[in-house]
Amino acid sequence: MTDKMKSRNVFEAIADPTRRELIHILSESEAVPLYKLTVHFDMGRTAVTKHLTILWEADLVKKSKVGRETHYQLNPIPLKEVSDWVTYYQSFWENRMQALQEVLEEENK
């Protein structure tokens, strides 16, 4: 990646439903050529490529040339950041709900 193409935030990259669907499709395969990805969407090849570029800039996909076609593969490692963030807040809310339950049980005595 050049200096001009700054790396993107993983959360920004997964914010779009099209990109989340691309991640899902790529999670089910080793490497997928662009033409096989475009059939899943009601948009042209250029638009799908733009979404894949954003995922690539966030290091969520790897790309390689096979002949004239570009193949894309999921790189799940950056998703750990998302998992860690969600896990923290899952624990946070479980603790809050437990505290609320204890207060309600105390009031009902």
> What tokens appear for 100 in the block?
């609320």
Which residue's entry shows tokens 């954003």? 54
Residue 17 confidence (pLDDT): 97
In the chain, % of residues over pLDDT 70:
94
pLDDT attached to residue 71: 96
The dihedral of CA 100, 105, 108, 109: what is its sign? negative
Q: Judge if 9 and 30 occupy the same domain.
A: yes
> Residue 22 is part of which domain span?
1-76
Q: Are residues 64 and 94 in the same domain?
A: no
Alpha-helical (H) ranges within the chain are 10-14, 17-27, 34-38, 45-57, 79-107
CA dihedral 42, 46, 51, 52 (to 10 degrees): 120
Q: Mean pLDDT across the chain, nearest whole number? A: 90
What number is the average pLDDT over the span 64-79?
94
Q: Is the pLDDT of residue 1 over 70?
A: no
Q: What is the enclosing helix (H) or strand (E) of 108? A: none
Specify which residues 109 forms β-bridges with: none
pLDDT of residue 72: 97
Do both 102 and 65 map to the same domain?
A: no
Q: State whether 18 and 64 are in the same domain.
A: yes
